[in-house]
């Protein structure tokens, strides 16, 4: 039976964060256990700091809802060493100003062949399809994190009024750019993948652009606004973005 010290236990900290290892080559700073704006702001503040002040031996970082994971080279830094440095940063960081979000507009052609499940979402919520479009496009969505697929945004802020369950049987191929709803979440598919989300529309803009740096249009911390467009606008935007 391993005791927790031998297994590398979580270290509690006086302020409201925890630091613990993700194995021998990554370290996690955790601010809490929920999806909310305040934790997100703390994640952003640490991200901003690390973007401006790289740590020795740091290879990359992954911000998530309430954590920042830092991958490092154990040949250069020990866990203890990098943990101490992070603690010093986090104490000062409490007073750091909130970074300003970028606003990214995502044009969407709702319904029709691009949004085969729009009518289902409307019926499910006793709304018209126009009302679903109006509600979906009237909100500012916060990109809490990117994961699952390159450039796939975990968006916060969707109205409960257009929530809808996942499809009973997932589609084998969801076309690139599809905008979907699953439960109270909404998202955009940057690459073709299988999936069970209700598809309500499609964007002509590329969210994943592997030839560019950074390779995704959206980043954690961005604000997304969906703008309804016609099928004709979809076609012309598609041409212009290529």
Partner 1 sequence: MSIRVIRPGLLTTIQDLGRYGLQQFGVIVSGAMDPLALRISNLLVGNAPSEAALEITLSGPALLFERDALIAITGGDLSAVFDGQSVPLWRPILVRQGCVLEFRSPRRGCRAYLSVAGGFDVPLVMNSHSTYLRAQLGGFNGRPLQAGDVVNFRSASESATQQLRKLSERLSERPFVATDWFAGLDLAEYADDPTIRVMSGGQYDWFNKESREALVSEPFRITKQSDRMGYRLTGPTLQIIQPRELISEAVTMGTVQVPPEGQPIILMADRPTTGGYAKIAQVATVDLPVLAQLKPGAQIRFLSISVEEAQELYRSREAMIRRLECGIAQMNL
- Binding residues for partner 1, per CB under 8 A? 1-2, 4-10, 20-26, 28, 30, 33-35, 59-67, 69, 71, 74-75, 78-80, 145-152, 154, 190-191, 193, 208, 210, 214-216, 219-220
Complex with partner 1: residue 21 or 111, whichever CB lies closer: 21
Spatial distance between the Cα atoms of 158 and 186, rounded to a whole number of angstroms? 7
Complex with partner 1: residue 6 or 53, whichever CB lies closer: 6
Vertex 188: Cα angle to 194 and 211 (nearest 5):
90
Complex with partner 1: residue 125 or 193, whichever CB lies closer: 193
Three-state secondary structure along the chain? CCCCCCCCCCECCCCCCEEEECCCCEEEEECCCCCCHHHHHHHHHHHHHHHHCCCCCEEEEEECCCEEEEEECCCCCCHHHHHHHHHHHHHHHCCCCCCCCCEEEEEEEECCCCCCCHHHHHHHCCCCHHHHHHHHHCCCEEEEEECCCCCCEEEECCCHHHCECCCCCCEEEECCCEEEEEECEEEECCCCEEECCEEEEECCCCCECCCCCCCECCCCCCEEEEEECCHHHHHHHHHHCC
Complex with partner 1: residue 219 or 225, whichever CB lies closer: 219
Complex with partner 1: residue 211 or 240, whichever CB lies closer: 211
Q: What Cα–Cα distance (Å) separates residue 2 from each residue in 8, 22, 28, 32, 81?
A: 10, 17, 22, 26, 24
Spatial distance between the Cα atoms of 65 and 27, rounded to a whole number of angstroms? 16
């Amino acid at each position: 039976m391993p005791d927790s010290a031998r297994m590398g236990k979580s270290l509690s900290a006086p302020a409201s964060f925890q630091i613990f290892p993700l194995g021998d080559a990554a370290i996690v700073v955790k601010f809490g256990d929920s999806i909310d704006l305040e934790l997100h702001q703390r994640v952003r503040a640490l991200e901003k700091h690390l973007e401006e002040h790289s740590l020795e031996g740091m290879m990359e970082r992954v911000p998530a809802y309430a954590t920042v994971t830092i991958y490092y080279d154990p040949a250069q830094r020990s866990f203890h060493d990098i943990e101490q440095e992070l603690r010093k940063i986090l104490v000062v960081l409490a007073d750091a100003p909130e970074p300003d979000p970028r606003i990214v507009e995502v044009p969407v052609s709702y319904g029709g062949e691009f949004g085969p499940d729009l009518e289902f979402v409307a019926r499910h919520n006793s709304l018209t399809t126009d009302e679903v479009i109006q509600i979906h496009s009237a909100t500012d969505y916060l990109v809490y994190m990117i994961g699952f697929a390159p450039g796939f945004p975990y968006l916060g802020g969707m109205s409960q009024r257009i929530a809808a369950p996942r499809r009973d049987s997932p589609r084998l191929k969801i076309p690139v750019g599809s905008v979907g709803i699953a439960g109270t979440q909404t998202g955009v598919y940057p690459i073709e993948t299988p999936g069970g989300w209700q598809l309500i529309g499609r964007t002509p803009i590329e969210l994943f652009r592997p030839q560019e740096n950074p390779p995704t249009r959206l980043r954690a911390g961005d604000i997304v606004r969906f703008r309804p467009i016609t099928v004709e606008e979809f076609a012309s935007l598609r041409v212009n973005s290529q």
